[in-house]
Amino acid sequence: MPVALITGINGQDGSYLAEELLRLGYDVHGTHRPQSDLGLLSSFRDQLNLHQIDLGCGEEIEQLLTAIQPREVYNLAAQSSVGKSWDEPVETGNITAIGTARLLEAIRQVDKSIRFYQASSSEMFGKVIETPQTELTPFWPRSPYGVAKVYGHFITVNYRESYDMFACSGILFNHESPRRGSAFVTSKIARTVAEIKSGSANELRLGNLQAKRDWGFAGDFVKAMWKMLQADQPRDYVIGTGDVHCVGEFVECAFDYVGLDWRKFVVIDPKFFRPAEVDVVTADPTRAKEDLDWQPKYSFEQIVTMMVEAELQKIQNAQGQTQPSVINNKAA
């Protein structure tokens, strides 16, 4: 049974990847920080080996690698909120950037043959130099988070080139799901739209509606992570859909789904604007398609619908109702 280690297993991507690796027959280990919420793992937690470790401590990482001897390590742990990274720039650098170096160095010390996946981000492209973005597009990060991810990306490239390690980065564009953390805009929109529909909220406060993102489904994207580590050669890959929409379109699509006019509920609040913005990012995932036979399956509309529907369902479950969902109402 191959052994895999996922850092940050309790997040959106960690939970989808853990499920995928279990399905593929792996012995799955995962790290999480003390006191972190493990709710996303609850339905299959008994099949996982969980370890309380954060990427702030290289020694603990080395001990864990020595004990479990993984074939593959997926580094998904990070301070992943772009907005929060302006409030916590040093901690973001410590975990998101230097944490990657700690992990790579621990792998080098324990077993150089371990295959390593780094979660790089489209935030590295920032103020984009060309459109669409490929693996060769230069970076211009626009936040402490983006800067930290650039470090993580290049230290991964550097370990590959210096030590001949199988280390590669997936440059992932935005990827969403009903498991998305509540701080991210898609999750906030889906949750609040469901609350407005069910009468427990009356407005949705947002910042920049013009920002454009290439939104995919997280469950599709974790499959690309695994494929990258099964390839003959380690390479970096852009993972995205190539389909771009602005935040306002996400809002409109979510309100449309529940039959409400978004203009009556959305309030623009300067508090949610960022000191520097990434205006638009667009993936060119050609390399992933050609080398890995990877393609996203879910469309923008399907993702919006899936997220709003999941939030409506949560509200219904909390209220102990058995009424049919909006989807079923519409079908009827």
Strands 212-213, 245-246: pairing kind: antiparallel
Among 33, 45, 112, 274, interactor with ligand F7E by CB under 6 A: 274
Beta bridge partners of 239: 172
**Residue among 114 and 185 whose Cβ is closer to ligand F7E:** 185
Rounded CA separation 290/81 (Å): 31
Residue 315 within binding range of ligand F7E, rule CB under 6 A: no
**Residue among 64 and 303 whose Cβ is closer to ligand F7E:** 303
Rounded CA separation 69/149 (Å): 26
Strands 237-239, 3-7: pairing kind: unpaired
Residue 26 is among the residues annotated as catalytic for this protein: no
Residue 211 within binding range of ligand F7E, rule CB under 6 A: yes
Residue 122 within binding range of ligand F7E, rule CB under 6 A: yes
**Residue among 67 and 129 whose Cβ is closer to ligand F7E:** 129
Residue 183 within binding range of ligand F7E, rule CB under 6 A: yes
Rounded CA separation 317/93 (Å): 39
Of 123, 252, 309, 311, the active-site residue reads 123
Please state the φ and ψ torsions of residue 287, each to the nearest 5 degrees. Answer: -60, -40
Rounded CA separation 68/110 (Å): 11
Of 15, 80, 120, 121, the active-site residue reads 121
Kindly state the helix (H) or strand (E) to which residue 146 belongs, with its residue range. Answer: helix 144-163
Residue 79 within binding range of ligand F7E, rule CB under 6 A: no
Residue 121 is among the residues annotated as catalytic for this protein: yes
Please state the φ and ψ torsions of residue 208, each to the nearest 5 degrees. Answer: -75, 110
Size of the site for ligand F7E (CB under 6 A): 22
- Rule CB under 6 A: which of 102-121 touch ligand F7E? 121
Residue 184 within binding range of ligand F7E, rule CB under 6 A: yes
Which residues are catalytic, by number?
Answer: 121, 123, 145
